[in-house]
Structure 1
Amino acid sequence: MKKIIYCLVILGLAITSCNPNEDIYNALDAQEDVIAGDVEYTLTDEDYDELEKSFGNFNSEDEAKSLIPGLLSSKFPVWGLGSSANVTFDLYAPKREEKSLIRYTVSSQDYDDLGHTFGNFDSDGDIQEFLEWKYPDPASRALVSLTYKYYDGSVNTLNNGFLYINDAWETILGFTDDEYEEMGEGFSNFSSEDEAIVKIPVFLKDKFKYDPREAGDIVATMYKLYTTDVDDIDGDGSTTDRTTYSYVKYFIFDGVNWSEYNDVISSTIQFGHDGTTWVPDNTIKYTFTADDVAFISDAFISIYEGPADNVGFFGSFDRRESSDNYWSDSMLLEAFNALLDERDPSAEEGQKYVLTFVVYTGSTGNETKSVIKTGGEWVYQ
């Protein structure tokens, strides 16, 4: 009906005025409300093609932040201010696979020299101390395949990898002789890389069944492979005989199973529409619960007795300026600060919230306020 009335007005204007039709249509458009929407969206192969990303992933989060807004504009052309989109995409995040040219078994003399009178290590600190003592000036990304005795209720012989990166030794999960046997190997090594790729994910699922991992977790493993000694790591002068090398390979968990990591991870960024375009946005949309209202009522009962008691009883903030129980914008902001500091104490600087809460203005309804953390406090946007 409203449209029909507008059209009649436009017809009258067209007869009595010399304004161009363009101005009239602009006036009509101004009457329309902004359309806002929220969406969870995962990029498809077609989307990557449209963005000219032939490998189906982005090289960095910065690249994703720069390209995705244009895609959202084409996908949701009528959405405007207040819209949000959680966009999931693939990100190229390579992990370098290493080959160990350093094999070492800790000797009884080594344990003695470092004061380990029982002939074993019993903490991660012991191992780090040994590595710093044995390799005082390692090359960047040096990988040591280390066999050692470790006490954890009983003494076990372990073989783990230690990768020197960023001036520190990073532990890489290896496999014991018994674990190779569990994976069906007659010797403490695999016969091929393909075999390792098949068997290690099965092993990891069992290993972490009492130490749960989350979807997206990546684990580095070091496995042994009996192969041609092209680097003469056994020091016998031959590069055509066979010996055991150690290799690092990464596996990723999908929430159920492990699989070989292919250098691509799934990432999600939230975007918001600022009225002109889509921009990366960390806004959290949050609707007050009964517990939130009770918290505010209790927190402010000695400061704003009437309003706090009223909101606790009715569950709505009285927004009538004539009321003794009126919650002004400044009072609400105090309440938002108290609530968010309680509910999200580790929120970073610049974090945004869009808060929706029940109000009373003669009848009950919802009101929304936007805040951002600035200088350690929550302020209105």
Structure 2
Amino acid sequence: MKKLYYLFALIAVTFASCDPLSQTYKALDATPKTTAAATYTTTLGTYKSATDANTSIPASLLSKYPSASDGSSALVTFSLAPSSSNVAVPDSTLSRVSVTLATADYSFPASTLPNGTAVPGNSTAYLTSDGVINYLNYKYPTPAANQLVVLTYTYYEAGNTPSSGSTVTDSFLYFASGWIKAYTITPAQYTAAGRGANGYFSATDYAALSGFFNAFLRGDAAVMGPAKTGDVKYVSYKFTATYQKIMTLTYDGSNWVLKQTLQFLKIAGVWAPDPTVYITFPVVKNVTYAYLNNPANANIGTADARANVISFGDFSISGSGTTVWNDTDLTAALAAGLVEKIAKPVVGVPYTVTYYVYVSPSVVPRTKTFVYDGTNFVYQGH
């Protein structure tokens, strides 16, 4: 019996020592487990500037999410120091960026931008919301990035102004997607902030500015009516008697705050700022999609569909008929727009476009992402 016991023991040892997978099992047990690519959302502290945030946040993410695998992304919301929240405009000197229209300025001919976009002319003694964008495109055919114009002019809006219009002062910023109207602080608002005597803010007001502007925006029904979490407002204000500055505020669902959200990607074990370029094609009649009149784009959609989106500034996608866009043609129209609007695209960089569609009875935003392959903007998805 003892001999049988030794025989069984010898067989067991032999099988254990000869198992070719035993070391593999041990190696697998010793290998740290990795997780699938994931999306993280977090809030960090206050940074001196967006550049400072881009430099500092990757180390914080590596510490906060040590097991995140390559391909993961992180949406990071952070606060900006009040003095660094201004948009960097090429010229903020009030005497140079302020323009007051004379009677003769309201009449200007139709023109064409360097990229081929047609700009309608104007013959009235006032400008509408579309007309003022047309004027800016006519007056500044090759604006600088973030260019600021503070414009005093006669504005007309049916049902909201006298038939002859009203004199207003508005601020406009030029971004890659075109001219946008900023929120300009009024004389009454300077007075409400205790700065009515001078009509401007100074360096000693920096800490209080975001609070003032939040109160003004929250008290403005035209702003709060359509406001959604994540919306951004560019607030234009006088800084001393010499400058006009722009502060960026983001709506958090309750207040307009000094916050920004940036996306980071983990690549080769390192977190880095997401290189995606975000562009908005605004709803501006006869301007945003005027490039679809170019002969090179004649095969995109139907003639009626192109005319419709040019006229209204949004794509009709509901119902039926010759003005309705299918998704393939709509994607091609946006890609053609990127060719017109991005002078020097970067190979491999994603370009995410926010555009607007008409889904009866509402106009709503949608997004599509493209990557430039060196020749074309290739659609990647929503």
TM (norm. structure 2) is 0.45
TM-score when normalising by structure 1: 0.45
Greater Rg by CA: 1
